[in-house]
């Protein structure tokens, strides 16, 4: 398997695995972690135009898609869902900071 075969979801799972691993003290392991983070960021940026119209593309082709295409669509949807979840967390944190700054509790 090459890095081209890895999905964004695969890269996220690798990073989650690393974060929970107990033995991650070596410089080499940390450099590998940084490389995977870079691959994730690069792949997310490359996939974004595809994802912009993801729902329409998936729904239009779902009836004629084979198993591999459905698995790929599922991976893209899960990736987009994860990105949106992270973006919503950041927006919520930012909104709370803004509300605290202006003294508004809502």
Higher pLDDT, 94 or 55: 94
d(CA 91, CA 85) in angstroms, rounded, equals 10
Asked if the model's pLDDT at residue 103 lies above 70, the reply is yes
3-state secondary structure of 4: helix
Question: Using one digit for the tens of pLDDT, what is the confidence trace for 40-76?
Answer: 777 776 665 566 567 777 777 778 888 888 888 788 7
| Distance separating alpha carbons of residues 65 and 73, to the nearest angstrom | 10
Tell me what the mean pLDDT of segment 30-37 comes to.
Answer: 81
């Amino acid at each position: 398997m090459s890095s081209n075969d890895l999905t964004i979801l695969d890269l996220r799972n690798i990073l989650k695995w690393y974060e929970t691993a107990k033995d991650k003290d070596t410089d080499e392991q940390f450099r590998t972690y940084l490389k995977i983070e870079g691959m994730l960021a690069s792949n997310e940026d490359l996939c974004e135009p595809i994802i912009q119209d993801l729902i329409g593309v998936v729904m239009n082709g779902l009836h004629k898609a084979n198993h591999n295409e459905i698995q790929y669509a599922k991976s893209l949807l899960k990736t987009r869902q994860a990105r949106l979840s992270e973006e919503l967390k950041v927006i919520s944190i930012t909104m709370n900071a803004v509300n605290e700054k202006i003294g508004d509790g809502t």
